[in-house]
Each structure stands twice: as C-alpha cells, then as structure tokens.
Amino acid sequence: VQRDTGVDGAVSVAPVAADGESDVLRVRARKLDGAEGFLLVFGFEGQDSYYWWNVGGWGNTEHALQRRAGGRSQDRMIAARGAVETGKWHDLRVELTPGRIRCYLDDQLVHDYRPTRPEVRVSPTLDESTGEVLVKLVNPAEEPIAATLKLSGASSLASVAHVTTLTGEPGGVNSIEREPIRPVESVLPASDTIEMELPACSVQVVKVKVK
C-alpha cells in the first residue's frame, strides 16, 4: 500500500508465467489518493512488447487498453469513459483468449478487444534470364513474424538463399545527413521449405537459384 501521494506510483510484480492459450488475470486494487488510477501490465514478452490496461487514467476520467510494440506506444486502442473510487477496493479482471482481450472492472465488462495484425504480403517472381526465384515479403506489423517459405516445382535448388532486408521505424526516411534504412545482405540454407523470421516493419527479397 502506498500512502505518500507525492512520489511515483507503487508497483507490484507477480513473477508468474502464464503459458496457456487462455488465461485470466485477477487483481484487487485500491486508490487512497491522487489524480490517477491503476496500470495493469500483461502479455509481457520483453521490454518492448506488452499490453497494459489503464484504469482511471487521464485524471481519473477514462479507462483504456494500450500497447508497447516496435519501439512505439499505441494509445487508446480501445477506450471507455469511467473512473475509480478513492478508498474503495476494486476488482480488475483481464481474460485472454486467442485473438481476444476482455477487461472487467468490478465484474462489469469495460473492453472487448480483438487485436488485428497486418497481413504479410508475398510476391514471387521467376527471373528466367538468371534462373532465380525471387520472393518479396513485406511485414507491415510492428513486431517480428515467423514465416515458412515453401518452394515447389523446381527440379533442384541451390544450397543457399540470398536475402536482402530493409527495415526501419514506421514513417522513417533517409536523408542526406542520415541513412537509417539500409539494405542488409544475409544467406539462409535453401530447401523446399525455408523457415524465416520477418523483422518488424520490413521488406525482404529472397533469391534462390533453381533448375
């Protein structure tokens, strides 16, 4: 319990891993004083990937679901007007199921959110002049995505695939002074099936020699 309203907010950490497809997080919280309510962090995958439920935020006028990903914070993915009462114990509950987040305050549903992920775009091309298959992959999401690239129809493939990757912050641009976005060359073992990780906000071109 924090009683000094002139310092930073009190923090409580529950060192419990939740690895199931469906999880429920329950917290009892009470505000003794101050202008704000509570922040409940969940879905933590690292310092740059997690959600938090802001209960009684913005001067105790609003509840909102927020997220940190790809170096940026997403403000108010879903929001509702509301406040928490000073001195009252509140029951907070977050229900996580595949593709859905539901947030309850004192057993009343506040948010019902279905996260959407931008789709990976794929464009394959056969360059007959060089005997190469070129596959362009675009990941517009602000987080990495695991991908499986399947190549079929060729009698044989080269042993390696050459990959050119461009990635950067959303809205990032190059200038005369700075070039934060530069192509990076790499190689991967080539086969009928290639396992890859597509970086956040990236464009990749995979080249494989075929016969």
pTM over 0.85: no
Answer yes or no: is 135 within a domain.
yes
Answer yes or no: is 8 within a domain.
no
Answer yes or no: is 7 within a domain.
no
Same domain, 81 and 129: no
Determine the structural domain holding residue 189 and report its residue range.
121-209
User: Nearest 5°: phi and psi at 58?
Assistant: 55, 55
Same domain, 179 and 102: no
DSSP 82: -
Same domain, 36 and 90: yes
Measure the CA–CA gap between 20 and 113, rounded to whole angstroms: 19
CATH number, domain with residue 153: 2.60.40.1180
Answer yes or no: is 67 within a domain.
yes
Render each residue's pLDDT in the chain as its tens digit; 211 residues: 444 444 455 556 666 666 666 789 999 999 999 999 999 999 887 787 889 999 999 999 999 999 987 667 778 889 999 999 999 999 999 999 888 999 999 999 999 998 776 778 999 999 989 999 999 999 988 778 888 888 887 778 888 999 999 998 777 787 888 888 889 999 999 888 899 899 988 999 999 998 7
Same domain, 96 and 27: yes
Same domain, 65 and 45: yes
Answer yes or no: is 5 within a domain.
no
Measure the CA–CA gap between 65 and 51, rounded to whole angstroms: 7
At which of 94, 113, 132 does a domain end? 113
**9 class by beta-carbon count within 10 Å (0-12 exposed, 13-18 middle, 19+ buried):** exposed
Answer yes or no: is 57 within a domain.
yes
Answer yes or no: is 6 within a domain.
no
Same domain, 44 and 76: yes
- What is the total count of domains within the chain? 2
Burial 69-91 (b: 16+ CB within 10 A, else e): bbeeeeeeeebeebbbeeeeebe
CA nearest to 96, candidates 50, 43, 154: 43
Same domain, 64 and 87: yes
Are 151 and 194 in contact by the 8 Å Cβ rule? The answer is yes
Same domain, 161 and 85: no
Answer yes or no: is 11 within a domain.
no
At which of 113, 147, 182 does a domain end? 113
At which of 95, 113, 131 does a domain end? 113
